[in-house]
Structure 1
Amino acid sequence: MERTPSLYIRRLTLALTLSLTIGAVLNASTAWAQSPPPVIAASAELKRWSDPIEALGTLRADESVTLSATVTDTVAEINFHDGELVDAGQRLIQLNDTEERAQLRAARALEDERRNALNRVTQLQARNLSARADVEDNQAQLRQATAEAEALEARLANYRLEAPFSGRVGFRDISLGTLVTPGMELVTLDKLDVMQLDFSVPEVYLGELSSGLALTATSAAYPDDAFNGDVATVGTRVDPVSRSVTVRAEVDNPSLRLRPGMFMQVTLAPTPRETLVLPESAIVPEGQHHYVWYLDAGDNNRVAWREVKLGSRREGEVEIVAGLERGDLVVAHGTERVREGQTPELLGVLNDDTSVSELIRQERR
C-alpha cells in the first residue's frame, strides 16, 4: 500500500513539535541549574549540653507519722479539723486524765510534806538536837516522793497527743467520748511543704548522679506544671535483678498541691558538657547515615556533601560527634535545592540575633 503525502506531513509536524518541546525543557533546566539557589546557613557552635535522664517515681511526705494512743481512756478534747494545718507542739487530742491528775496532786502534797520534814530535821541537827541519820532518811524520803510525782507527770503526757512537727492532719475518725486503747490509730500528720521523691535509675547512669543534681517532676494531675527539686541521696546498693539504683530527691511543694503516693515523671539534668550543635533541619538522613550540605567558606561557599556522626538530640537541635569543626557552615534551610559543587545564594546565618522566620521571609522575597 502506498503512503499518502498527508501521512508524511502529520509525522513531520509531530517530530518538529516534540523537538521544540524537548528543547524548551532542556533550556529551562539549564537556566534553573545555572541560577544559584537561595539558602539559609547555620554554624556548628559549641554549646552546653546534657543528656536528660528520665525515670518514674513516687512521692513521700518529708515527715509522716500516725499518732496512736498508749493508754486506755476516753477522748475528752479534739482540737483539729479534717485536713487542717497545725503547728509543732499543738495539742490535737486530750484524753480523760482526771484520775491521774488527782494522783499527781496527792504526790505533790506528799513531796511538800517530806520537804518540810527535812527542813525541820535539818534545823534540829544544826543545833545538835537530831541525829545525822535522821536528816539522811528524810532526804531519801523526799527524793522518793519527787520521783513518784515526776513519774505521774510523765504518765500524764501520754494522755495528750501533740503534733511533733508542723504539717497537715488527715481525717478525724474519732469523736468525743470514744474509748481508745493502746496502739489505736487516732490521726495522721504529714509534713508537705517539702516532698521526698523516690525513683530508680539504671546503673549505667550511676557516674552522673550526685547530691544536688537538679531535676524536674511532672504529674498527670497537673499536666501544665513542672515541680523543681534536687537529688538528696543516691542509694548505696544496686539492685542485682533490675540493675538499677534508688535515688531520693527533695521537691519543693509550697502550694501543698502534691500528695504522698502520687506518681511522678522525673527528668534529671546531669552536669552539662560542651559539644558541637547544629539545627536538626540541617541534617539529611540517608538510611543509617546522616549528611549535611557543607559550605566551603574558602571557595565562595561551594556546596559539598559531607557525612556526620550524631550524638544526642533535643528539641530543634542535634549533637555533632564527628564530621564538622567549630565554625563550619552548613545549609540549614534549602537543603532540597542545592547540589554538589553549586555556589548558592546565602541569605543569612542562623544565630541568637536572627530568627529563622526573618531569614525565611527574606528568602521568599
Structure 2
Amino acid sequence: MLLPFHRQQLLRITLVPLTLLLASVAIAQSAPSVIGTRAVLTTWSDPIEALGTLSADESVTLSATVTEIVADINFRDGEQVEEGQLLIRLEDGEEQAQLRASQALREERRNASNRASQLQERNLAARADVEDSQSRLRQADADIQAIEAQLANYQIKAPFSGRVGFRNISIGALVTPGMELVTLDKLDVMQLDFSVPEMYLGRLTPGLTLNTTTAAYFDEVFSGEIATLGTRIDPITRSVSVRAELDNADGRLRPGMLMEVTIQQRVRDTIVIPEAAIEPSGDRHFVMLIKQSDETTRLAQQEVEIGERRQGDVEIVEGLAAGDLVVFHGLQLARDGLAVRLIGIADDETDIRALLEADR
C-alpha cells in the first residue's frame, strides 16, 4: 500500500536522527580502547656508573725494626687510638743501661769542662785544654742522642689517630724486623678508587658529587665528591682512574668494600614519558596526543624530539608540555584523528592488566 507523499516525507525526517544515533553508537562501540599516560616534569641527569673499592684515608701496618721480645701491649683489638700513643713496647733494658752510662759520662765531662773553663779564666789552664773538654762533652751529648734514637725503635707508637685492627702478637713473643704487628686505619674519611671510560674525562671535575651504595647497607646511599683525577689513561682498558672522598664519621664503611658508584651530571628539569609511548619512524619520533572534549576523544599525532633514555623512560626535549596526555597502550591501532575510548591513565599505582580485563 502506498503512503501519501506527506507521510513519506515525515517518515524520512523521523528516520534520519535515528540513523545518526545508531551510527554514533556503532562508532562508539567500534572505537579502539587506549590507555593514556601523562608527560611529567621531573629532575633528570646523565649518570656515569662504575664499581669502586674503598680504602682508608690513612692506612699503615706497624712492624718492628729490631729483634726483641714484646714487653707491653697497650691497646685492645679495634680500639680508637690517638696520634703518638704508645701501642707496643719491646724489651729495652740493655739500651736503657747504656743510656744511663752515657748520661753519667756526660755529667762527668760537663764537670771537667766547667773546671777547665774556671782555670782558664784564672790563667791556670791552657785554652786548648778547655776546647778539648768541651769537645768531649759534645761527643757525650751525641752518644746520648744516638742511644735515645735507638730506644725509639723499641717503642711502637701510633703515627696518626685511627682504629687498630687485630693484634697478632702476645707479651713475651719474639719479634723481628718487618714482622707485621698490627694495622692502623684512619676511617673518618674514606677514599674510593674507581675507573671510568676515557670518553667521560671531559665531564669529570674535582668537586663533582656522586652517590654510592654497598651490599652491606643495601637501603642506604652514601654521598661524596671527586677529589682527584688520574694523570694517565690506561692504554689497555682506555679508562681513567678517579679518586673520591666519602665522609665516614660514623665509621660504618670499611677499607676493601666494593661500592657501586653513580656520578650525577647535567642535572636538569625535563619532560619525561614512558618509552612505550614513542612511535619511531626512521630518525623521527612521534607520540599520539589524546584530545578530549565533551563529545568525543580523538588522537592527534605529534612529532617530538627525544633526549636520553633510562629504565623504560625517555626524555622529551621538544614537542610536549607537562600534563599532556599521550597513548601508552593501544598504539597498534592508533591513527591520527581517530576517535578512541580512554579506559584509564597509567601511573605508578595503575594495574594495566586490570584495566584491560575490565574493558572486555
User: Could you tell me the TM-score, scaled by structure 2's length?
Assistant: 0.78
Paired residue secondary structure (2:220): strand
Q: 1:310 aligns with which of 306, 309, 314?
A: 306
The runs of 5 or more residues in structure 2 that have no matched partner are 1-18, 351-360
Report matched runs for 1:249-268 at 5 Å: 249-268=244-263
* Partner in structure 1 of residue 209 of structure 2: 214
* CA displacement, residues 261-289 of structure 1 (integer Å, 9 cap, x when unaligned): 121111111243x4642332783345776
Q: 2:230 aligns with which of 227, 235, 247?
A: 235
Count of residue correspondences: 325
Q: 2:172 aligns with which of 165, 171, 177?
A: 177
Q: CA deviation at 1:232?
A: 1.0
* Partner in structure 1 of residue 191 of structure 2: 196
Cα 1:306–1:148 change in 2 (3 A) is: same
Q: In structure 2, what is the Cα distance between the partners aligned to 1:329 and 1:311?
A: 18
Q: 1:55 aligns with which of 26, 45, 50?
A: 50
Cα 1:39–1:310 change in 2 (3 A) is: closer
In the alignment, is residue 94 of structure 1 matched against residue 127 of structure 2? no
Residues 196 and 250 in structure 1, CA contact (< 8 A), matched pair in contact too: yes
Give the superposed CA RMSD: 3.7
Residues 57 and 187 in structure 2, CA contact (< 8 A), matched pair in contact too: yes
**Amino acid of the residue matched to residue 301 of structure 2?**
W
Q: CA deviation at 1:311?
A: 1.8
Paired residue secondary structure (2:147): helix
In the alignment, is residue 331 of structure 1 matched against residue 328 of structure 2? no
Cα 1:147–1:334 change in 2 (3 A) is: closer
Q: CA deviation at 1:341?
A: 3.2
* Partner in structure 1 of residue 26 of structure 2: 29
* Partner in structure 2 of residue 6 of structure 1: none
Residues 38 and 344 in structure 1, CA contact (< 8 A), matched pair in contact too: no
User: Could you tell me the TM-score, scaled by structure 1's length?
Assistant: 0.77
Report matched runs for 1:104-123 at 5 Å: 104-123=99-118
* Structure 1 consecutive aligned stretches of length 4 or more whose deviation exceeds 6 Å: 22-25, 37-40, 342-346, 355-358
The runs of 5 or more residues in structure 1 that have no matched partner are 1-21, 347-354, 359-365
Worse-superposed segment, 251-260 or 161-170: 251-260
Q: CA deviation at 1:50?
A: 2.2
* CA displacement, residues 237-261 of structure 1 (integer Å, 9 cap, x when unaligned): 1111111111111112222222211
Q: CA deviation at 1:57?
A: 1.1
Q: In structure 1, what is the Cα distance between the partners aligned to 2:140 and 2:301?
A: 98
